[in-house]
Amino acid sequence: MKKSESTTAPNEKNSAQTPKWFFKSLEAFIGQKFDLDVCANKATTKCMEYYSLEEDDQDSLNLPWERVNFCNPPFNNIQPFIEKSIEEAYRGNTTVMLFPDTPETGYSRLAFAVADTVIKMPFRLKFLRPDGSQFTDKNGKQTSPQFSCQIVLITPIGLKLGTRTIYHDFRIGFKD
């Protein structure tokens, strides 16, 4: 079977934003509000506080993070954000990461080795363009990535205990 090529413009791939409904569902699931969005800009952040490399020259990999962080890293450079999340967990901070469900990659193996919880989802998340509009195919139909994503919680407790993997449908109770 031939794998289809991505129709997403290269300049949009690493700045796609997390849908607001998903972000709110995630906060409800963990029972806390996020203090800091570590990979965002003014248009895409879902938090009051955020770091933006492109707007404010804030390299979140070299800045302190908060108690509860959200991280939708650039998908072409995930590992440094996992490493930073581990560093922050040793400081007592929690990071909730969203990235492709690719267990064969080195970054996934690293995350699984230290994660408190890995959450598998029964759907492909439909990200939004940086301007908030939907990604669509040539026929105008909303599209999603050609891969599933997962949520990985990196916490101080996860550094000491084994990782648990759970399955959760974040769409339940939340509408676009």
pLDDT of residue 64: 95
102 touches 108 (CB < 8 A):
yes
Of the listed ranges 100-109, 116-125, 126-135, 145-154, the least confidently predicted one is 126-135
DSSP state of 104: T
For the chain, give percent helix, strand, coil, nearest 5: 25, 20, 55
Distance (Å) of CA 43 to CA 3, 38, 39, 132? 32, 14, 12, 8
DSSP state of 106: H
Helix, strand or coil, per DSSP, at residue 151: strand
Q: What domains does the chain contain, in order, with CATH numbers?
A: 19-126+142-167 (3.40.50.150)
Run of H or E including 131: none
Q: Check the CA dihedral 111-164-88-75 and report its sign.
A: positive
pLDDT band at residue 128 under the 50/70/90 scheme: confident
Which segments within the chain are labelled E, that is strand?
Answer: 36-37, 49-50, 68-71, 94-100, 117-120, 149-154, 164-167
Q: What is the pTM of this model?
A: 0.87
Distance CA 118, CA 92 (A): 19
Q: What is the pLDDT of residues 37-85, one digit of tens each?
A: 999 988 889 999 999 877 778 899 999 999 999 999 998 999 999 999 9
Site of tokens 């699984």: 112
